[in-house]
Structure 1
Amino acid sequence: MITNTELEYKGDLYPTKIVSFEHEVDSICFHTDNSVILKVTVLRDSLIRFRFTTKGYFSNDFSYAIDKSHSHGYNFLEVSEVADYYQIKTSKVQCRIQKADMRLSIFDLNENVILEDELGFHWEESYEYGGNIVKMSKASKDGECFYGLGDKATQLNLKGKRLENFATDQYAFQKDQEPLYKVVPFYIGLQNKQSYGIFFDNTFRTYFDFCHERRNVTSYWAEGGEMNYYFIYGPQMQDVVTTYTDLTGKPELPPLWALGYHQCKWSYYPESNVKEVTAKFRELKIPCDAIYLDIDYMEGFRCFTWNKEYFPDPKRMVSELMEDGFKTVVIIDPGIKIDKEYSVYKEALEKDYFCKRADGPYMKGKVWPGECNFPDYTNPAVREWWAGLFKELISDIGVKGVWNDMNEPAVMEVPNKTFPMDVRHDYDGNPCSHRKAHNIYGTQMARATYHGVKRFAYPKRPFIITRSAYSGAQRYTSSWTGDNVATWEHLWIANIQVQRMSISGMGFTGSDIGGFAEQPSGELYARWIQLGVFHPFCRTHSSGDHGNQEPWAFDEEVIDITRKFVNLRYQLLPYLYTMFWQYIEEGIPMLKPLVYYDQEDIQTHYRNDEFVFGNQILVCPILEPNALGRRMYIPRGQWYNYWTNEEVKGGKEVWVDTKFDQIPLFVKAGSVIPKYPVQQYVGELEFDELTLEIYYKEGKEKSVVYEDAQDGYDYKKGRYSFLSFQTTGKEKELIIQLHKEGKYDTPYSKYKINLIGLPFKINAIEVDNVKISFDHQSFEDDNYLIVDKEFTELHIIGE
């Protein structure tokens, strides 16, 4: 392993003095007298790319992470030269590059330092592999905090940590274990109430050190490739995350059912077992939309085959499950069994689609089917072939989603758990070794899977889930946090991992509810369900080694809690769908750690447990056994306890009492929360009213609700409904203004309005300036109003 001993290591090399520069449109190139070139590209006023080479020229510029459709263009760019440095100025920041040694610093327009080089760019020759180990070190201020980096199993604030990025199959990983399944070399710095981001777009094994080795130095380095990073200026963390998410891309809307509850186990078979499980969900009235088939559905673990003994007629079974509201999701791994009689293997062999070793033979490794070869998903022809393989599963049999596993890529019975580093890859016409392609292998598999499922599911939307991912994978796939364990510590880890993934651009993520390895107690399972329903991806999954992990594997109380919280998720589906819409439209993360929500409040900088679900619901899981309450931090502003409707003023730590069938939940004052009736699966019910829970606040607050046909692509043609509510609360009145956009006509005709926290008794109600009659007594008994959905202003007047 490379260690980062930058100061002591005698082999480190540095840029010398700058001898020339040229400026072309949005790029400025600086050349030193020892052949280092720095290319600075201004993509937006607050987004600048820094790319270094030590060989006097740049290799082909290619990245799997960058979304080609990301926003370009700046308002202002000025390049000037003074005695000691060059200055690049935009309408947001100014960057100074020292003539003597190419070190750079970035300031805001008020001359405050946002980020500055310590040693800056330097490198060391890699004697083992050739090329360079490329390094960067930045000065770090006291009090600076760091966030991001994907699914790291450690506290949210990374200050003092050293982390490694190398996609690894870490079965039953522990807290602080490194590395894990995903590689997101993007972090957010927060210092002096200003946020910035660094995205180090390098697919080799990378390391990040946040003041671990040296107190005031943050550094990152890679075992090969270029020093190529993007600087993103906030100053709000929201701006940093939105810009990064735009740069690396956003997904399309999932079908609404994919936001329902999913049930999975290794493995449900034969067919009678699958039917038994699905029937039990309906019998117990616990909503569920998806059932998963793990590797045992295949014939000898061969991908794209069915075990005819367990599943004699998969098309009929999938169709019958669908009639009962269950969408079938199947697993597909990258390892293709070496078997001359197996059509997928034969075709890949004939077309030369498998990865090869440097000296010619195919890469061979042991996975579930035994000896396997592995497709090279970095080859566009292989991706196209792989996409075509999904025709039977999706078009003919009717499977609705595909789950990619083992794609780090994982190989059994070898010490490094993966391919040898000399394996060759096409890398979309930029041939390279596995050292460079390893971290993006899983993403390219998920990409090929996505294109296949999308092609054959059309006109419906695809659903893909992956275990391994690199920055940008969110364009194609959802993900989960891998093989966790049924422990309280892992419940804490899951809470942090999903928050961190959310601010690292990969919002559609969840954990294996209840833990994959080992068996949870009923209490742990209940507490995990209570957290999991507030994660964008919501699935129970277990290894099955230790018994069952369906809700009914526990006692009646746990079944009731599971039903209560899954029901709540299904009621909140329009709220969750709206969160997703804002994520894909504006790059706003679906879960917001408290520091993201309010970075000005220093109290939030080290909080791990609490998060804001969407924009208006504060969630705090119970993470310890036998707890009937906990201390938590409520962010600034006015909030209502969801269970009691009691109003609380935020900006402080409080003790919150709860019961076993509750966790601390708070709703922001002024919010309009949309709710559907409880359904056993998405689309089960037709309903004539949308419930709106309106929480009173003195002053103004805005809420939005996005809806469409819940599947398909009509929303891209303007067939959606986007409602903007503005609530204005005064001492003796509440005004609710509604603005509508879009061409989708929702199936309901009325709003059922619950008014919560009104500080006055209602005297009169006006709809669009017309007084309506209402029964005071029935309102006080039922506490809701029914209003036609076509209203534009609702005026509630107090006595």
Structure 2
Amino acid sequence: MQTIKKFRFGTPIPTYAVTQPVDTSKENPSFVTIHENHAIITMNLSERTSVYGLGQQLGGINKRGRKYESYCTDDPHHTEDKTTLYGSHNFFLVLDDQANGFYLDFAGRVAYDIGYTDESLLTIKVFGTDFDLYQFKPDTPEAVVTEFRKIIGKPYMPPKWAFGYFQSRWGYSSEKDLLEVKDAFSKNDLPLEGIYVDIDYMERFKDFSVNKETYPDFKGLVNTFKKDNQYLVPIIDAGVKIEKGYDVYEQGLKGDHFVKGDDGKPYTAAVWPGHVHFPDFLRPETREWFGDLYKYLINQGIVGIWNDMNEPAIFYDDKKLGQAIKKAKDSEGKNLDIHTYFELGDVFRNLSNHQDYYDTMIHSYEGKEYSNDEVHNLYGYFMTQSAFEGFEKHLPGIRPLILSRASHIGMHRYGGIWTGDNASWWSHLETNVKQMSSLSMVGFLYSGADTGGFGANTSAQLLSRWLQFSVFTPLLRNHSAIGTRNQEPYQFSEEATSINRELIKVRYRLLPFIYSEYLKAVTDDKMLFKPLTFAYDDERVGDIEDQIMLGDHVMLVPVVKHNQRGRMVYLPEDMMLVSMDSKDIELKVYEKGDHYLSYDLDKVMFFLKKDAMIPIIESVNNTKETEDKDITWIGYATKKASYRLMDDDGVHKTQTAKTLIDRVVTIDLAGKTLGDTFILLGENSRLDIRDKDK
């Protein structure tokens, strides 16, 4: 029986998001109407209907009651009124008695009105008439997500070291700064996997360059970190600086690799280095050329990269800047009232990422020319594909760390994403919790937020509360902006440093579990994080969005409010509370229902379902030290508990029977004088079992 219907409208621009063939239906659905230059999709919403999906967006897990847009946008101000962020993830799920899933395969702008203008309608405007729409047979929410994930290909699998704790800051301006950070982590006994290196390492913000004055021996610096099993992950931006004699610029001109303007010449705009051209990543030749450029960093020992500013972000072009300056000059000496004053300010505020830029940029794609607006959401996707293929070519067989800011479904096969330029706000911690389920739905498993917040000034309490959640996300990176308060985990009081030490060490204790869950989600086309509504048939859970599931058996209950010493939790069934620090574990069973949970800053807490167990290890300082560590099992069962454990060598793309572990571990407690909760030393029931109270 066919479980997926594909409806084709016009002649869609290929996105290569879908990798499995699906037969095209001969009849198109009645809820789609085609107009002269756009299409409208309309669906009815009952009072009970919830809508999930759309990946990286603001708002709640349930998307109802809000507007959204899919149009990759560089916007560092993630306020409540914003409708779009950096990703284009047009999969959504309408849940009533059953789940109906839809994927809109389209490279341009899509606008969603989900019960906002009319509470009873979901209205989608497609800014074009050529697209594919996939509809998935009604089923359980998880089953629908799995069917979708099967047709878009397996998610990117990072190296195991990518699951460690990383520090970052825009403003580490020299080798000395990085070494001081490394030394401070060591002196404070704080685990450190490595440092993400922002634009400061470049020579005048030029891609594939190093400032020799501030980073005189970059390769030596990389090796200094590697000796301690630590990694440097440098940034690469989309814009290539226009400068005679700069090899990347000269190669780009010679190879005709840059996006054109409407005059047929390489389009000029400005970002960090000033005037730049943008590689046309939609051309295979350009992807290969740019991918080869990563060899410059690979030859210096780099095995991971993060691509930024690839929506693409644009500060200004000369035409718009000239208009703004003229407006300012014309206003000089005038008596500006409230309207003319704000009008003048808006001219400058609206310079960044103006729509005119994307209408002007021309791409060569699949034998045709398109404005960037028509294929806008593919740009960051194909830049990331370029990086992935470059590392694959020049570092064969090895899994690199690839991270991107902009994304489109399909890019999930080539790299992960972070959630962009968030702020040190409690609301953004809560947003981070809500985003993880939506990102799992669309295949972006390797993801996470800038822990502590990128913009604004964090507090010791906010950083620690954020760490309590981020220790569970695949990407664990503390990153902040220049000019903000330094937020390395040792930058506050001695007490705060001690608290953060405990939390980061718990991350490494949980690593066998987190890595196993990630591998299973990749292998089985499952969600890594999911809303409670996907796991329980319980009306209460539809109102709860600050508790989410990690895998099938663990419920996360982070504290996301300021000055709260705990929180209320609702348990849909009897569950076991696990409270951990770097050395100790406490277990306690709670009955189904409402409970107040006291949650100290120096603990990591979560709930475990009945007849389940998870693997942990002793605390270590980096992922290399996790090798050959004995597993301890934490479980909650009366007779029997089991866990499917997956692991591999964490390095190579292809695993052998010797390096790939995929087995079910079962603990049979029959005949043991043991309560419902247990801690088990070793990997099977033949090893010693000890009661948690002894």
Deviations along 1:332-361, whole A, 9 cap, x unmatched? Answer: 001000111100000000111100023312
Partners of 2:639 and 2:680 in 1: how far apart? Answer: 22
Residue 244 to residue 525, structure 1, CA distance change in 2 (3 Å) = same
| CA positional deviation for 1:480 | 0.6
Partner of 2:224: 320
Deviations along 1:406-426, whole A, 9 cap, x unmatched? Answer: 111000033544633132112
Root-mean-square deviation over aligned CA pairs:
2.5
- Aligned partner of residue 487 in structure 2, secondary structure: coil
Residue 645 to residue 351, structure 1, CA distance change in 2 (3 Å) = same
Residue 615 to residue 290, structure 1, CA distance change in 2 (3 Å) = farther
1:611-760 alignment to 2 at 5 Å? Answer: 611-642=548-579, 644-650=586-592, 652-662=593-603, 664-684=605-625, 687=628, 689-693=630-634, 695-698=635-638, 701-715=641-655, 719-727=659-667, 732-733=671-672, 757-758=676-677
- Aligned partner of residue 375 in structure 2, secondary structure: helix
Partners of 1:722 and 1:342 in 2: how far apart? Answer: 49
Contact preservation (8 Å) 2:68, 2:112: yes
1:394-405 alignment to 2 at 5 Å? Answer: 394=298, 396-405=299-308
Partner of 2:34: 123
Partner of 1:22: none
Partner of 2:203: 299
Query: Which amino acid counterpart does residue 546 of structure 2 have in structure 1?
Result: D
- Aligned partner of residue 483 in structure 1, secondary structure: coil
| CA positional deviation for 1:687 | 3.9
Partners of 2:44 and 2:92 in 1: how far apart? Answer: 15
Query: Which amino acid counterpart does residue 291 of structure 2 have in structure 1?
Result: A
Q: Does structure 1 residue 224 correspond to structure 2 residue 121?
A: no
Partner of 1:439: 377
Partner of 2:341: none
1:102-117 alignment to 2 at 5 Å? Answer: 104=29, 117=30
Higher relative contact order (CA 8 A, sep 6+): 2
Partners of 2:552 and 2:185 in 1: how far apart? Answer: 31
Residue 551 to residue 796, structure 1, CA distance change in 2 (3 Å) = closer
- Aligned partner of residue 286 in structure 2, secondary structure: helix
% of aligned pairs identical?
Answer: 30
Task: Using structure 1 for the length normalisation, give the TM-score.
Answer: 0.78
Partner of 1:341: 245
Partner of 2:7: 50
Contact preservation (8 Å) 2:155, 2:444: no
Partner of 1:13: none
Contact preservation (8 Å) 1:519, 1:547: yes
How many residue pairs end up in the alignment? 651
Task: Using structure 2 for the length normalisation, give the TM-score.
Answer: 0.89
Q: 1:467 aligns with which of 399, 405, 410?
A: 405
Partners of 2:366 and 2:419 in 1: how far apart? Answer: 28
Contact preservation (8 Å) 1:574, 1:674: yes
Contact preservation (8 Å) 1:169, 1:417: no
Partner of 2:323: none
Partner of 2:427: 489
- Aligned partner of residue 397 in structure 1, secondary structure: coil
Query: Which amino acid counterpart does residue 466 of structure 1 have in structure 2?
Result: S
- Aligned partner of residue 287 in structure 2, secondary structure: helix
Larger Cα Rg: Structure 1 or Structure 2? 1
| CA positional deviation for 1:579 | 1.1
| CA positional deviation for 1:215 | 2.9
Contact preservation (8 Å) 2:613, 2:636: no
Contact preservation (8 Å) 1:168, 1:417: no
Q: 2:445 aligns with which of 488, 494, 507?
A: 507
Contact preservation (8 Å) 2:631, 2:681: no
Deviations along 1:139-196, whole A, 9 cap, x unmatched? Answer: 223311001101111111112222111111111311341211111011111101x112
Partner of 1:40: none
Partner of 2:547: 610
- Structure 1: which 5+ runs fail to align? 1-43, 54-58, 78-87, 89-94, 105-116, 126-131, 735-754, 759-782
Partners of 2:438 and 2:81 in 1: how far apart? Answer: 14
Q: Does structure 1 residue 560 correspond to structure 2 residue 498?
A: yes
Partners of 2:490 and 2:679 in 1: how far apart? Answer: 35
Contact preservation (8 Å) 2:156, 2:416: no
- Structure 2: which 5+ runs fail to align? 317-350, 581-585
Query: Which amino acid counterpart does residue 558 of structure 1 have in structure 2?
Result: A
Contact preservation (8 Å) 1:202, 1:225: no
Residue 209 to residue 280, structure 1, CA distance change in 2 (3 Å) = same
| CA positional deviation for 1:686 | 5.3
Residue 181 to residue 261, structure 1, CA distance change in 2 (3 Å) = same
Q: 1:157 aligns with which of 62, 79, 84?
A: 62
Partners of 1:680 and 1:318 in 2: how far apart? Answer: 18
Query: Which amino acid counterpart does residue 34 of structure 2 have in structure 1?
Result: W
- Aligned partner of residue 646 in structure 1, secondary structure: strand
Query: Which amino acid counterpart does residue 511 of structure 1 have in structure 2?
Result: A
Partner of 1:141: 46
Residue 637 to residue 71, structure 1, CA distance change in 2 (3 Å) = farther
| CA positional deviation for 1:449 | 0.8
| CA positional deviation for 1:794 | 7.4
Range moving further from structure 2, 560-569 or 717-726: 717-726
Partners of 1:217 and 1:716 in 2: how far apart? Answer: 51
Partner of 2:264: 360
Contact preservation (8 Å) 1:656, 1:664: no
Contact preservation (8 Å) 1:156, 1:606: no
Deviations along 1:605-663, whole A, 9 cap, x unmatched? Answer: 2321001223322111111122111112223343334354111123x332112223235
Contact preservation (8 Å) 2:71, 2:377: yes
Residue 348 to residue 703, structure 1, CA distance change in 2 (3 Å) = same
